[in-house]
């Protein structure tokens, strides 16, 4: 497969939102042997998950605005060429936009949708480093 960070429709990142990041780091690090490191310079604390010398995901604290409203959960990102263009199709196909498109400085542009069956998924257009 081509680079999942550039391939439209490819699963490219997975992320845990949890109320106890240190406990999650300890659990998954010991369980799966993941290498975990703090991301430097981000807007909030973020743990990068690395397996077999490949960054595969992250762990972050549940944002304050949703604490107590959602359980800890893993989410996944699918790469798309244009987040805004994909979001424009969601309502007509029976889905719902949960988190409107927003820019993640130094990363790209992302959004979260719910499909007609109630499953959520995140889309991202990565800002390619040149």
Instruction: Give the Cα separation of 95 and 116 in Å (integer).
Output: 5
pLDDT confidence of 60, banded at 50, 70, 90?
very high
Q: Classify domain 1-64 at the CATH superfamily level.
A: 2,3-Dihydroxybiphenyl 1,2-Dioxygenase, domain 1 (3.10.180.10)
Architecture of the 80-130 domain: Roll (3.10)
Task: Please determine whether the domains at 1-64 and 80-130 fall in the same fold group of CATH.
Answer: yes
With a cut of 60, say whether residue 130 has pLDDT above it.
no
The pLDDT tens digits for 17-39 are 999 999 999 999 999 999 999 99
pTM (2 d.p.): 0.85
Place of tokens 């949708």: 113
User: What pLDDT is stored for residue 74 in this prediction?
Assistant: 95
- The domains of the chain are located at 1-64, 80-130
The pLDDT tens digits for 64-107 are 888 788 889 999 999 999 999 999 999 999 999 999 999 988 89
* Residues 6+ positions from 84 with CB-CB distance below 8 Å: 101, 109
- Closest by Cα among 89, 83, 90, 127 to 105: 127
Instruction: Give the Cα separation of 90 and 101 in Å (integer).
Output: 12
User: What pLDDT is stored for residue 43 in this prediction?
Assistant: 75
């Amino acid at each position: 497969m081509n680079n999942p960070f550039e391939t439209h429709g490819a699963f490219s990142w997975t992320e845990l939102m949890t109320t106890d990041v240190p406990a999650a780091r300890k659990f998954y690090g010991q369980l799966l042997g993941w290498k975990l490191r703090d991301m430097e310079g981000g807007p909030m604390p973020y743990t990068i998950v690395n397996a077999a010398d490949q960054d595969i995901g992250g762990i972050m604290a549940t944002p304050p605005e949703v604490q107590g409203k959602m359980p800890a959960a893993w989410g996944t990102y699918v790469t798309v060429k244009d987040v805004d263009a994909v979001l424009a199709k969601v309502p007509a196909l029976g889905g719902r936009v949960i988190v409107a498109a927003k820019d993640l400085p130094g990363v790209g542009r992302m959004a979260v949708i719910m499909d007609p069956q109630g499953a959520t998924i995140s889309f991202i257009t990565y800002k390619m480093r040149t």
